[in-house]
């Protein structure tokens, strides 16, 4: 962590030596995040009041807190930058350090929120596992796929066995990244949808947060689809009802935080604790540091040092939760047998 902070402030110091236009303020800084509850927090901080078109509340399920955000109209879309729909943000804590019982409870809580968007049992589901398995922080989708139960091949080859299982028809596609395939993930998924004709899609991806404390400790679920890479300024083609023609449920875990956003929070907290005001004339040095952060001097991302273990366990949790949400009669203890 100290090494990361040193890199951040070396970059800021270098940029600080340049001549900046003193127009930024604390509230103008553009924090990068994919999490709807953080977007809601940023918007509320800037506006200082309840935003029309956004309805938010907090709730608790079986010991896990959840923030619910509803974007209900164009006003909410404009204010938040999020499409109209519902967003559940479940705080699961450090699941990689938890016992099996806590893991199980978390899986059932996430599955319960997923069921709010899932069609009846006779509808088939395609899992779109987004990301790059070669980059650990971006491997949430592919590793989730390893923990996902697929049944379409059983239905076609042995219908009686499929009926005996009593499970939903499911299939999976891992589109990889365009840097390896030359094809956009959205295009591969669209082709799979047109060929196999699933009734709905669940897209799984890694996300970004604006706080280190949220990394791999939060799961976001929404019914609005997803734009891969948007949280790290590398937005790819949208994966949604509009582009695929079928409902798209998205689920993701934040695995990275933008270094500029991290440095911003440290500077802001330091300024507030030291009694500085937010008037620009009172802290020209901090204002220039802000300009340095906004200039792209710290254009890299931070991820936890135990990322390998963290991504493996959180991806497993998501896979188990999806299996439970799709199959009402599936016992938690039986999942290992199906995916082994």
Report the CATH fold assignment for 2-262+295-339.
Rossmann fold (3.40.50)
CA distance 60 to 222: 18
Quickly tell me which residue has 């956009």 as its tokens.
Answer: 184
CA distance 230 to 124: 28
CA distance 194 to 150: 18
Q: For helices 259-273 and 284-294, what crossing angle results, to 10°?
A: 170
The gap from C-alpha 234 to its chain's centroid, in whole angstroms, comes to: 14
Quickly tell me which residue has 């990889």 as its tokens.
Answer: 176
| φ, ψ for residue 150, nearest 5 deg | -105, 140
Q: Please give the pLDDT value at position 50.
A: 72
- Strands 248-258 and 200-209 come out as parallel
Q: For helices 259-273 and 2-16, what crossing angle results, to 10°?
A: 80
- In 3D space, the residue among 268, 256, 219 whose CA is nearest the CA of residue 45 turns out to be 268
CA distance 57 to 111: 19
| φ, ψ for residue 335, nearest 5 deg | -60, -40
CA distance 59 to 46: 24
CA distances (Å), 64 to each of 60, 106, 217, 310, in order? Answer: 6, 7, 11, 19
Question: Is 32:208 a contact under the CB 8 Å cutoff?
Answer: yes
- Each residue's pLDDT, cut to its tens digit, for the chain (340 residues) gives 555 555 544 554 444 444 333 334 445 556 778 888 888 888 777 665 677 889 989 999 999 999 999 999 998 888 888 899 999 999 999 999 999 999 999 999 999 999 999 998 889 999 999 999 999 999 999 999 999 999 999 999 999 998 888 899 999 999 998 888 999 999 999 999 999 999 999 999 999 998 888 899 999 999 999 976 554 555 568 899 999 999 999 999 999 988 877 777 777 777 667 665 455 554 555 566 656 665 555 567 888 888 999 999 999 999 999 999 999 989 999 998 888 7
- In sequence order, what DSSP letters do the residues of 318-332 get, joined into one string? HHHHHHHHH-TT--G
Please tell me the total number of residues recorded for the chain in this structure.
Answer: 340
CA distance 299 to 260: 7
Q: Please give the pLDDT value at position 211.
A: 85
SS3 state at 294: helix
Handedness of CA 68, 256, 12, 267 (dihedral sign): positive
Task: Determine how many CB atoms are found less than 10 A away from the CB of residue 304.
Answer: 20
């Amino acid at each position: 962590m100290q090494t990361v902070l040193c890199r951040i402030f070396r970059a800021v110091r270098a940029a600080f030596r340049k001549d900046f236009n003193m127009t930024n303020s604390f509230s103008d800084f553009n924090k990068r995040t994919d999490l709807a509850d953080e977007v809601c927090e940023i918007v509320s901080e800037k506006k200082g009041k309840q935003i029309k078109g956004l309805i938010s509340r907090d709730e608790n399920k079986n010991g896990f807190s959840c923030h619910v955000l509803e974007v209900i109209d164009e006003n909410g879309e404009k204010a938040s930058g999020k499409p109209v729909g519902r967003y559940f943000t479940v705080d699961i804590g450090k699941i990689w350090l938890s016992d099996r019982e806590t893991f199980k409870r978390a899986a059932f809580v996430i599955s319960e929120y997923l069921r709010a968007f899932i069609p009846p049992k006779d509808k088939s589901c395609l899992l779109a596992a987004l990301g790059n398995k070669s980059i650990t922080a971006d491997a949430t989708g592919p590793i989730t796929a390893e923990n996902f139960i697929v049944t379409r091949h059983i239905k076609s080859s042995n219908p009686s066995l499929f009926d005996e299982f009593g499970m939903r028809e499911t299939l999976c596609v891992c589109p990889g990244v365009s840097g390896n395939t030359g094809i956009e993930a959205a295009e591969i998924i669209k082709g799979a949808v047109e060929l196999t004709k699933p009734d709905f899609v669940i897209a799984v991806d890694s996300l970004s947060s604006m706080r280190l404390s949220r990394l791999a400790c939060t799961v976001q679920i929404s019914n609005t689809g997803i734009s891969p890479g948007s949280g790290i300024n590398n937005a790819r083609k949208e994966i949604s009802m509009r582009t695929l023609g079928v409902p798209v449920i998205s689920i993701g875990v934040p695995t990275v935080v933008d270094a500029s956003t991290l440095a911003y929070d440290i500077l802001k907290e330091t300024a507030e604790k030291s009694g500085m005001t937010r008037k620009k004339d009172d802290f020209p040095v901090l204002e220039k540091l802000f300009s340095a952060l906004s200039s792209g001097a710290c254009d890299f991302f931070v991820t936890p040092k135990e990322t390998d273990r963290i991504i493996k366990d959180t991806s497993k949790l998501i896979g188990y939760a999806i299996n439970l949400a799709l199959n009402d009669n599936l016992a938690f203890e039986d999942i290992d047998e199906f995916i082994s």
